[in-house]
Amino acid sequence: MPSNASGYRVGVDLRETWWIGDVEVPTRVVLAPMAGVSVQAFRRQGRRFGAGLVCSEMVSCAGIEHRNEKTLGYLRVASDEHPLAIQIFGSEPRAMAEAARLVEAAGADLVDMNFGCPVRKVTKTGAGAHLLEDAELACSITEAVAAAVSVPVSVKMRRGVENGARRCLELGPKLVEAGASVLTLHPRSAQQMYTGYADHTLTAELVSLVDVPVVASGDITSHAKAQAVLDATGAAAVMVGRAAQGNPWAVHEIVCGDATRPSREEVAAELIHFIRETVRELGERRASGFLKKFYAWYLGHGRFPKPFKNELVQLHSTEEVVTRLLAAAPGAAALVGELEANVPESEVLLDGMPISIYGGG
């Protein structure tokens, strides 16, 4: 395969298998861990549409340690999610190690650690992006977690806290030395949040500094962009986040380059299936509010008129939403039946886990 001027091979096939330790990942696309988004239904859908690795939203190690019922609900694992990374966050090595053990016992294929979240309620506890400024603590946490589990450990980080920071390049090699098997870099600063652009020249620099796979995160919105980032950086894979919200077809396009536009019936069917799976996971009360943002994501892109989305948001129950979607796209019913016929049971591997397996109510 040809290489670019930096020596990286050009034209990596995003459908190609790669490895994190002894975990085989079937495509070069990773579905990002997103708070308030990456529920089990979202992850399972991502795998169906071609994501090679899917990630849970970040789970508080304190919540795990205190056996908080809602927190432990994030540890449900379904057989069609693998390979799956469950992401944890915290600032105390012992607690993070204990959380990692439970994550492994729950069935995760990787333990992922969040060293990049810019949200104040996370950083003020010493977790998330705060750890970019405390290399000693970040390495202590990584070492403790890597020693606690037999599965690979990954770390997701940003470039640094302040704009223009290059802390990721100082910290990355130290994290690998401490036991990280893969690094994910979102090369925006914590200050930027999601503004501006992701500077993947930093990703290329990080790749040159470490001997483990690096996942490039940030602004991956198309097959062409994913290919360009892989070619320019030498990263092992790309991570897709906001582009996949309510749009699993974007995941398929990024993996395969096939930009076929879904029909209304396909959109309605995927949304109905997503609604029902989310209700099964969260319970009607929690799911009803959680799902409202997804209606705009699914029905946008010119797929349905805007007033229709506004109508769905006003409905009081998820079954009313399903009824309205089926009325708008009757052909979706058969597609929903096919999707539901292929759903395996969840694997709940922790005996006596104090969670409501069929929904949080």
Give tens-digit pLDDT for 186-242. 999 999 988 899 999 999 999 999 999 999 999 999 999 999 999 999 999 999 999
- CA-nearest of 158, 218, 221, 219 to 191 is 158
For residues 245-259, give the mean pLDDT.
96
| Catalytic-role residue among 117, 139, 168, 256 | 117
Please give the pLDDT value at position 5. Answer: 47
Residue 85 one-letter amino acid: A
Interior/surface letters 269-305, b for 16+ CB within 10 angstroms, e for the rest: bbbbbbbbbbbbbbbeebbbebbeebbbbbbeeebbe
pLDDT band (50, 70, 90) for residue 259? confident
- Cα angle 214, 32, 141; round to 5: 60
Q: Which tokens go with 109?
A: 């294929």
Query: Containing H/E element for 29?
Result: strand 29-31
Q: Is the dihedral of CA 276, 280, 282, 286 positive or negative?
A: positive
For residues 6-35, give the mean pLDDT.
89
Any residues with CB less than 8 A from the CB of 103 and at least 6 apart, and which? 59, 64, 75, 86, 88, 111, 149
Could you confirm whether 117 is annotated as catalytic?
yes
Answer yes or no: are the C-beta atoms of 304 and 311 closer than 8 Å.
no
For the chain, the distance separating the N- and C-terminal CA atoms, rounded to the nearest angstrom, is 53
Residue 180, Ramachandran bin (φ over 0: left; ψ between -120 and 50: alpha; else beta): beta
Give tens-digit pLDDT for 281-290. 899 999 999 9
Residues facing 85 on adjacent strands: 55, 110
Answer yes or no: are the C-beta atoms of 173 and 122 closer than 8 Å.
no
Interior/surface letters 190-211, b for 16+ CB within 10 angstroms, e for the rest: bbbeeeeebbbebbbbbbeebe
pTM of the model: 0.92
Please give the pLDDT value at position 73. Answer: 78
